[in-house]
Amino acid sequence: GAVVSQHPSRVICKSGTSVKIECRSLDFQATTMFWYRQFPKKSLMLMATSNEGSKATYEQGVEKDKFLINHASLTLSTLTVTSAHPEDSSFYICSASGMDTQYFGPGTRLTVL
Amino acid sequence: TQLLEQSPQFLSIQEGENLTVYCNSSSVFSSLQWYRQEPGEGPVLLVTVVTGGEVKKLKRLTFQFGDARKDSSLHITAAQPGDTGLYLCAGDNQGGKLIFGQGTELSVKP
């Protein structure tokens, strides 16, 4: 199956700093990537849809200035959590859309101290 | 707003027992996916069902898509400890977005 990677897998940062998470489709081109947030033992919550070469579409209640998304190429989308606070601590998962299926990355555990 | 109601949310059973997880919606989906997720990892696709009434089998797992394409079920026969994990259903609304159910946390005890 298709492979999607995320980097870093874990990150710990201080409150007020910004953190960038990368999502790459390794063996296919993805015009659309999705970013999700997941709380412990809970389901995935869609944050935004990232389209290559255009602005991301954010779900209701998600601050676009807080969660910056860039989809500069067909294989890379980045999520930057700006001025992170402890309440932003979570598991962030991306997916890439290809071959009529969404393929999920392994997730990034963000801990904000 | 499209919603997928998944039940039960928690299930703890003994090895060898059977179980069924349900996903229900008032909306029609073009397809429905089932995923399994282990702690600290991303969801892994188990199956995609597309046709109303479709039944797919994956070893001890049986997936059904309702005739009206609004609901689906996952049945596991003779559960094993290795089946432990979070099971997620997700419906495709044709806009490319996946609508996820709440998830079912399954624990199979030896």
Banded model confidence at residue A102, pLDDT cuts 50, 70, 90: confident
Chosen for mutation from A5, A11, A33, A43 (greatest number of chain B CBs closer than 10 Å) is A43
Q: B77 CA to chain A: closest CA distance, Å? A: 24
Is pLDDT above 80 for A1?
Answer: no
Q: What is the mean pLDDT of residues A56-77?
A: 92
Q: B108 CA to chain A: closest CA distance, Å? A: 16
Banded model confidence at residue B1, pLDDT cuts 50, 70, 90: low
Banded model confidence at residue A40, pLDDT cuts 50, 70, 90: confident
Secondary structure (H, E, C), A36-69: EEECCCCCEEEEEEEECCCCCEECCCCCCCCEEE
Q: Which of B55, B85, B56, B52 is nearest to B70 (CA)?
A: B52
B58 by DSSP, 3-state: which? strand
Q: Which residues in A have their CB inside 8 Å of a CB on B? A: 1, 4, 6, 32, 34, 41-46, 49, 91, 93, 95, 97, 101-107, 109
Percent of chain A whose predicted confidence (pLDDT) is above 70: 97
Q: Name the residue in chain A with its Cα closest to that of B50.
A: A100
Q: B32 CA to chain A: closest CA distance, Å? A: 11
